[in-house]
């Protein structure tokens, strides 16, 4: 499975949907509102990595378990 950085995991948790596609859509919708280049890069990398997962892998990943505040 793809390895996500802590920043990517946190980003995914913030914009998590019920499915992989919904999560990707939520992240994509957030990009125009991100004013820091670093956050845009994290969003884009998160989308690229999420896109490689199957829906089953996404469900099993349990990103919330790794979320850090």
Is residue 69 one of the residues assigned to a domain?
A: no
Position 16 scores a pLDDT of 92
Here the CATH number for the domain that contains residue 11 is: 1.10.10.1850
- For residue 21, the model assigns a pLDDT of 97
pLDDT of residue 8 exceeding 70: yes
Whether the pLDDT of residue 67 is over 90: the answer is no
Residue 49 included in any domain: yes
What confidence score (pLDDT) does residue 61 get? 86
> What is the mean predicted confidence (pLDDT) over 10-19?
92
Query: Is residue 68 situated within a structural domain?
Result: no
Largest Cα–Cα distance in the chain?
33
Looking up tokens 């990517």, which residue turns up?
Answer: 8
Continuous segment of H or E residues that includes residue 60: helix 55-61
Nearest to 59 by CA among 5, 6, 11, 22: 22
Range of the domain at 58: 6-63
Q: Which residues contact 10 (CB under 8 A, 6 or more apart)?
A: 67, 68
Cα 42 from Cα 12, distance rounded (Å)? 10
Q: How many domains does the chain have?
A: 1
């Amino acid at each position: 499975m793809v390895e996500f950085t802590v920043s990517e995991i946190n980003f995914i948790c913030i914009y998590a949907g019920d499915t992989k596609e919904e999560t990707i859509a939520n992240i994509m919708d957030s990009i125009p509102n991100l004013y820091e280049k670093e956050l845009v890069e994290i969003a884009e990398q998160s989308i690229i990595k999420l896109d490689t997962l199957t829906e089953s892998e996404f469900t099993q990943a349990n990103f919330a378990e790794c979320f850090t505040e």
